[in-house]
């Protein structure tokens, strides 16, 4: 453990206070843990009374945090979590799952920044411009704007009008957004927040099906255009009439995932081949774009390609999309993951460990696993499977540190 004197008392106190709040502990409980009075805990959190090494170890364990995390020298970023907590819907106000997910999102974002600091690897920044002016309230104008913004964003990212194989990977690597997956309450689809030092952060509900997470991610990205600096939590319930920014994000998501030109072309090819468009074709088309059958149906309705009310009719007939896809032997076409953190985050952690910048215990904390699993992740990152000339499978060491610009001496 770093010496307590190496961390400013104010920074240390702030981290201890945030760790205590995140796990729902009171200052009285912290005082009982240390065997001291509440004013002592208050003084430690304010930074007016330095904490001893023994007190730091006890409090870190009491709060379920690692000493490494508490003793991190950089100042904690506290803006993200409080802002999200301020916009929690009253229906889930007391949800411990949501509160824990908000703080985990905060911790993952801070850990990501710490890994970038250790490895001198800044997150790429290729953010699109924000919308000028408010989102139109009229349905037609709003949908036209969402369609145009999605089309321009696809062009900006050179995506054409084909399905996006992995939207998460595109937004992480091409745009520079931090995307996490967490155990959110079932009624919550996702949440987003923008903080200058942490950048734009999104957390998706890993308990939701891949198609739902993908739609949620596109929806949250829509907020990046119309209300970038306003944190939000998106719920599954339809509720009353949605505000214009929510309806824009919803329309943008559908346009981004199912571009009009590509959908029309696919639909036309099916019609020209079969002289019809059946429910089986609908299922295949939804699988092709890796969206739900409901989303695909509503998109086709909006484009005027099928009769309005088609989804309502299917729902009334209790159409089972999952069973239909199994019957048609349709397999997933996307590589969307529900890993807690991005691939880049994982590789930064492994590289920091390889360069002896963090210990094995600290690596396990960064990767949210035990030490045995952390070793396996390192092995998988640094080795790959190959077949030798004799046809035997062998593990090949990946020497990522070898330079391609300098000759070996």
User: Containing H/E element for 204?
Assistant: strand 199-205
How confident is the model at residue 407, as a pLDDT? 61
Residue 304 phi, psi dihedral angles, 5° rounding: 75, 25
Cα 170 from Cα 337, distance rounded (Å):
12
Helix or strand or coil: residue 76? coil
Q: What's the CATH number of domain 1-75, 2.60.120.260, 1.10.260.40, 3.40.50.1100, 3.10.450.710? A: 1.10.260.40
Using pLDDT thresholds of 50, 70 and 90, give the confidence band for residue 75: low
CATH placement of domain 77-257: 1.10.10.2910
DSSP letter assigned to residue 133 = S
Q: Is 77-257 the same fold as 1-75?
A: no
Least confident range of 12-21, 49-58, 105-114? 12-21
Residue 231: burial class (beta carbons within 10 Å; 0-12, 13-18, 19+): buried
Work out the percent of the chain whose per-residue pLDDT is above 90. Answer: 58
| Those residues with Cβ within 8 angstroms of residue 192's Cβ, 6 or more apart along the chain or in another chain | 200, 201, 202, 203, 220, 223, 224, 231, 232, 234
Condensed to tens digits (0 to 9), the pLDDT of residues 89-100 reads: 765 655 778 888
Cα 195 from Cα 108, distance rounded (Å):
14
Using pLDDT thresholds of 50, 70 and 90, give the confidence band for residue 1: very low
The radius of gyration of the chain from alpha carbons, rounded to an integer in Å, stands at 25
Q: Which two tokens stand for residue 92?
A: 């889930």
| Those residues with Cβ within 8 angstroms of residue 285's Cβ, 6 or more apart along the chain or in another chain | 263, 266, 267, 270, 296, 300
**Higher pLDDT pick, 75 / 233:** 233
How confident is the model at residue 369, as a pLDDT? 93
Condensed to tens digits (0 to 9), the pLDDT of residues 276-310 reads: 999 999 999 999 999 999 999 999 999 999 999 99
Cα 222 from Cα 146, distance rounded (Å):
9
Q: Which two tokens stand for residue 91?
A: 């229906």
DSSP letter assigned to residue 51 = P
Least confident range of 66-70, 74-78, 120-124, 339-343? 74-78
How confident is the model at residue 115, as a pLDDT? 94
Pair 216, 189: CB distance under 8 Å: yes
Condensed to tens digits (0 to 9), the pLDDT of residues 153-191 reads: 999 999 999 999 899 999 999 999 999 999 999 999 999
Mean predicted confidence (pLDDT) in 120-131: 91
How confident is the model at residue 198, as a pLDDT? 85
**In terms of DSSP bridges, do strands 199-205 and 178-182 run parallel, antiparallel, or are they unpaired?**
parallel
Mean predicted confidence (pLDDT) in 138-143: 93
Cα 51 from Cα 128, distance rounded (Å):
45
How confident is the model at residue 399, as a pLDDT? 59
Cα 377 from Cα 394, distance rounded (Å):
18
User: Containing H/E element for 201?
Assistant: strand 199-205
Q: Which two tokens stand for residue 39?
A: 């004013």
Please report the beta strands in 144-239, taking only residues with DSSP state E, as ranges in sequence order: 178-182, 188-195, 199-205, 232-235
Condensed to tens digits (0 to 9), the pLDDT of residues 248-268 reads: 999 999 999 999 999 999 999
**Higher pLDDT pick, 17 / 81:** 17
Highest mean pLDDT out of 96-100, 143-147, 378-382: 143-147
Distance of CA 384 to the CA centre of its chain: 27
Residue whose pair of structure tokens reads 């409080």 in the numeric block: 82
Q: Indicate the domain borders of the chain.
A: 1-75, 77-257, 260-327, 343-397
Condensed to tens digits (0 to 9), the pLDDT of residues 200-241 reads: 999 999 999 999 999 999 999 999 999 888 899 998 875 567
**Other beta carbons within 10 Å of 242:** 12
| Those residues with Cβ within 8 angstroms of residue 44's Cβ, 6 or more apart along the chain or in another chain | 12, 13, 16, 50, 51, 55
Using pLDDT thresholds of 50, 70 and 90, give the confidence band for residue 2: very low
How confident is the model at residue 9, as a pLDDT? 83
According to DSSP, the residues that pair with 393 across neighbouring strands are 387
How confident is the model at residue 63, as a pLDDT? 85
Condensed to tens digits (0 to 9), the pLDDT of residues 33-56 reads: 999 999 999 999 898 988 888 999
């Amino acid at each position: 453990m770093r010496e307590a004197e190496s961390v400013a008392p104010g920074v240390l106190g702030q981290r201890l206070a945030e760790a205590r709040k995140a796990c729902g502990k009171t200052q009285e409980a912290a005082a009982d843990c240390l065997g001291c009075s509440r004013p002592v805990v208050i003084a430690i959190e304010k930074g007016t009374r330095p904490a001893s090494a023994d007190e730091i170890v006890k409090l870190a364990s009491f709060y379920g945090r690692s000493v490494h995390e508490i003793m991190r020298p950089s100042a904690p970023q506290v803006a993200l979590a409080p802002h999200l907590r301020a916009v929690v819907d009253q229906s889930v106000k007391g949800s411990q799952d949501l509160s824990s997910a908000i703080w985990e999102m905060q911790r993952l974002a801070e850990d990501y920044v710490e890994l970038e600091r250790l490895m001198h690897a800044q997150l790429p920044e290729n953010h699109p411009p924000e919308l000028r002016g408010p989102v139109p309230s009229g349905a037609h104008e709003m949908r036209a704007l969402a369609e145009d913004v999605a089309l321009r964003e696809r062009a900006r990212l050179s995506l054409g009008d084909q399905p996006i194989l992995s939207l998460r990977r595109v937004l992480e690597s091409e745009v520079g957004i931090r995307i996490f997956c967490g155990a959110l309450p079932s009624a919550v689809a996702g949440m987003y927040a923008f903080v200058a030092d942490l950048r734009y952060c999104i957390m998706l509900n890993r308990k939701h099906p891949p198609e739902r997470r993908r739609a949620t991610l596109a929806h949250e990205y829509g907020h990046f255009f119309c209300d970038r600096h306003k944190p939000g939590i998106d719920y599954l319930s339809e509720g009353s009439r949605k505000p214009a920014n929510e309806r824009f994000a919803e329309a943008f998501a559908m346009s981004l995932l199912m571009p009009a030109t590509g959908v029309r072309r696919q639909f036309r090819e099916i019609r020209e081949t079969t002289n019809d468009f059946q429910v089986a074709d609908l299922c295949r088309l939804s699988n092709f774009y890796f969206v739900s059958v409901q989303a695909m149906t509503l998109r086709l309705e909006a484009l005027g390609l099928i009769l309005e009310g088609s989804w309502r009719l299917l729902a009334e007939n209790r159409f089972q999309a999952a069973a239909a896809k199994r019957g048609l032997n349709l397999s997933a076409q996307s590589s969307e993951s529900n890993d807690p953190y991005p691939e880049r985050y994982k590789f930064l952690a492994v590289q920091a460990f390889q360069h002896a910048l963090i210990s094995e215990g600290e690596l396990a904390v960064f990767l949210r696993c035990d030490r045995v699993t952390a070793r396996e992740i390192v092995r998988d990152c640094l080795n790959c499977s190959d077949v030798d000339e004799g046809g035997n499978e062998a593990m090949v060491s990946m020497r990522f540190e070898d330079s391609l610009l300098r000759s070996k001496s």
